[in-house]
Each structure stands twice: as C-alpha cells, then as structure tokens.
Amino acid sequence: MKNRRISIVLFALFVLIFNAKAQTTQNKDPQIVQMVEEVSNQNLESLVRKLVSFNTRHTLSDTLNKTTGIGSARNWIKTEFERYAKNSGGRLKVSFDSFVQPADGRRVSQETVLKNVMAVLPGTDTTDKRLIMISGHYDSRVTDVMNIKDFAPGANDDASGVAAVLESCRVLSKYQFNATLVFIAFVGEEQGLYGATHLAKKAKDEGWKVHLLLNNDIVGNSYSSETNIRDNRSVRIFSEGVSPAETKEQAALRYSTGYDNDGTARQAARYIKEIAERYVDQLDVKLIYRRDRFLRGGDHTPFSAQGFTAVRVTEMNEDFDKQHQNVRVENGKQYGDLPEFLDYIYLQKVTRLNLSTMANLALSVQEPENVKIITGGLTNKTQLKWDKPKGKEPFGYYVLMRETTNPVWERKIFVKGNEALLGYSKDNYLFGVQSVDNGGHESLIMIPKPANK
C-alpha cells in the first residue's frame, strides 16, 4: 500500500516535471556562444561615459566645437565605427545619413542639417537581401526639450542603446553572415523621431528588405528608485499585434484566421525571446503586447508605420527621476541621467540579447515562401505546405505549433520535406513554419495563409 502511494507521488512528480520542462532542447552554435562571450561590460561602460562627456548631445546643439555638442558626438561615433571597420577587413561600410530637417514650429526651431550615423556589414550571400538592423538614439535632452546648452548626460536615454549598437558592431563585424547587418545611431529622437522617420522613408522608397529592426532605447538601468525594485534579469520587448500599414485584404485575412496576435512584430518578439534566452544566462525576455509605453514614443515606430518589422527593447523598471531631467540635487535626492546609475552587467545582457538574435538570424537561410494551411475540406488534421526559400537551401524546416491562447510556441516539429500532416485540428491551434540550416540557425517564422490545396 505504502509502495503504491510512493509510486503515485513519484508519477505525479514526473508528470509535473515533464510538463514544466517541455521544449528544453537547445542547439547552441559554439560560434554564437563565442560572440556572446566577447561582449564586454567594461567596453559598454566606457562607451556610455564617452557619450556623456560631450556635455550635451541635444539635436540642435553646437556642431563646430571639437569636444562638446552633437557635432563632436556624431563625429566620435563615426570614428568608433571606422575603428571596427579596420578589424572587419574593410567590409564594414561607415557613413553619415544626412538630411535637412525643416523647422516644425514645435521642437525644431530652425532648419537644421541632421545626421544619423550608420555602419553596414554586407552579407556574403548576394541572393540574400535581408537587412537585420539594430538602433539606439544618440541625441539627449534635459527637462526643457529646447535647452541646447545645459549638461544633458543621457547616459541611459539613450547612450545605453548606442553603446549596445557599438559593442554589437565591434563584435559582429569580425564575423561573416548570409544576411546584411545594419548598425544605426539615430539623431532627433527627442525632437520628434526625426532621424528614424527619415531613414524609414528612405528604406521604403529604395525598397530595402528590412527584416527586423531592434530599437534599443533605455536599456541600462536595473533599479527604480520610485518602486525600490531591483531586477537585473528582466527586459521588455514591445511589439504591436497589427501593423499600422495593414491593407484591407490583410485585415480580412486576420479576421477570418484569428491572427490578431501573430503580426510580424509579435512573431519577431517571440523569436527574440527564444534565441536570447538560449544564449544569455539569467535573462527573462518579457513580451509586452503594445507598441510602446504610455506618453512615450520611439524610433521603431516610423519603421513599423512604413510596414517594416520593428520592436522596442527597454529595461523592465524605469527610473523617471533620471530621464529627461536637469541634473540637480533636490531635498537630498539626485536627479538626472548620470552614468553612475547604470548597471553595466545588465547592459551587457541586453547587448547579448541583441547580438545573439542578430547573429542567429543573419546566419540562417531565408524563410520558406508561400506557406499554406490547407482548408479544402473538413478534417481534424492539419496539412501545411510551403515552397523552399530563395538563395541557400535549408537543411529542413520547423513546424511550430501552439494553443490559440498561448503567447509562445509550444512545439517545434522538424520536417525534411516541403509539407507536413499533423494529427491536430487546424481549428484548435496556431501554426508557423521556419527554415533551419545544418548549424541549427532558424529563419523568422512564416504564418500560413489558408488555401484550398
């Protein structure tokens, strides 16, 4: 009797553990493990402190002084990218993306030449047009958004994001990828997302295949003085469910399929969570199902407005006494966005999140095309079909599956051919298909469109 009870308890325990541990198979690429290792918290700290040293990086500040103001800041960022270009064997292409921003009667008082700073590492597969982008904004501000003189350190907002961009570039540009990597320090964010708006429009006009933009804004702080919460494990990925560029036909498809939660930004967010948690220890990626925080905007938004896949990466617990504040002490309390308030080990984790996602995606082959779910007849099974990707051949595919209420994929089923027949009803689950190469690198996930055959 006692033995029987013990075995029931053991069985229950087994069921519990089995359920909790479903989907733990992880295929780590030693080369990506190496890249992740190379991200240095000391480098990140010195990058942030260097950006703070320009006194202000206000978009309308001095462009001529050699050591202070936005001009010296952007020149230094360009020089830093050029330093990495030397170690890339000349493959990394560095440039200013310059444009004239007219006065807007709001936060830009007069016509001004603005410059994003960019570095592009071309992919090795010339048939692969995917661009995988990472950004932060290098401009800063104090309480008065028009104040162009006072000390505006912007250590967290957003020297932290620019440091993540630079450090990712330093490491990644030494390696080779199928797809093209793009590293950007945006200008004009605080004045109205002007740098990102300019580049997003240019990308649309020139037909760039922007596959994913990871926009890093406020990613260096693990403590909030307001709530007294210290959390160096969690990071948020903001993603919208429905693209603002959705057409009527796409909306009709969404209504009929229940794909409200399966827009490209949200798929990308799931992808980031899976890959970053595979490669970065002690990191919990929180999927936030909205475009951005209340009262705030970011440089991913102009890209999603143009129909590109773009998400925002931001720390879990923001300290609003540090952001957009004049640097001052009031009632014994320090205000202002100073570098000593950042947690550089945390920033290292967030940088590793970006870097591992970019590396895995850029090393993958392209995603399958024409992915279909066959809805020609009433059946309790699910049939999926697809065409192979352009460019390099995949090793195979993963069919992904989850319950309609589950935020993340539950199963990854490896398939060698170009179709799958599953013993689960298409009415009760959501499905996706991604390519996988022989190194285990996955493409982004394609959601099937209903088709008769």
Binding site for Zn ion (CB under 5 A): 157-158, 217
Q: Nearest-5° angle of CA 414, CA 417, CA 418?
A: 105
Residue nearer to Zn ion on the CB measure, 148 or 179: 148
Give the three-class secondary structure for 293: coil
Matching residue, tokens 């260097």: 50
Q: Cα–Cα distance between 443 and 362 in angstroms, integer?
A: 8
Q: For residues 136 and 132, what is the distance between their CA atoms, to the nearest angstrom?
A: 14
Question: What minimum distance in Å lies between the beta carbon of 102 and Zn ion?
Answer: 22
> Across-strand partners of 312?
215, 238
For the bound state, the minimum distance from the C-beta of residue 183 to Zn ion, rounded and expressed in Å, comes to 17
Q: CA–CA separation, 168 vs 172, rounded Å?
A: 6
**DSSP helix/strand/coil, 136:** strand
Round to whole Å and give the CA distance between 323 and 336.
6
The residue (of 156 and 309) whose beta carbon lies closer to Zn ion is 156
CA 224 to chain centroid = 23
Residue closer to Zn ion by CB (options 136, 263) is 136
Shortest distance (Å) from residue 233 CB to Zn ion: 22
| Cβ closest to Zn ion, residue 141 vs residue 372 | 141
Q: Which residues on neighbouring strands pair with residue 421, listed in sequence order?
A: 383
Nearer to Zn ion, 274 or 299 (CB): 299
Q: Nearest approach, Cβ of 323 to Zn ion (angstroms)?
A: 8
Question: Which residues, at least 6 apart from 180, have a Cβ–Cβ distance to it below 8 Å?
Answer: 120, 121, 122, 123, 128, 129, 130, 131, 132, 362
User: In this complex, which beta carbon is closest to Zn ion, that of residue 157 or of residue 437?
Assistant: 157
Reported as type and span, the H/E element at residue 371 is strand 369-374
3-class SS of residue 199: helix
As measured in angstroms, the least distance from the Cβ of 157 to Zn ion is 4
Query: Tell me, what amino acid is at 142?
Result: V
User: What is the DSSP track for 96-124?
Assistant: EEEEEEPP-SSS--S-EEEEEEEEEE--S
CB of 324 to Zn ion, least distance (A): 9
Tell me the closest approach of the beta carbon of residue 407 to Zn ion, in angstroms. Answer: 26
With residue 399 as reference, give the H or E element that holds it.
strand 396-403
| Rounded least distance, CB 312 to Zn ion, Å | 10
Closest distance between Zn ion and the C-beta of residue 387, in Å? 41
Which C-beta is closer to Zn ion: that of 216 or that of 382?
A: 216
**Total length of the chain:** 453
Task: Name the nearest CA neighbour of 115 among 152, 74, 148.
Answer: 74
Which lies closer to Zn ion via its Cβ, residue 160 or residue 264? 160
**Residue 19 in tokens:** 């359920």
CB of 158 or CB of 442, closer to Zn ion = 158
Cβ 156 to Zn ion shortest distance, Å: 9
Q: Between residues 156 and 173, which has the closer beta carbon with respect to Zn ion?
A: 156
The residues pairing with 413 across neighbouring beta strands, listed in sequence order, are 399
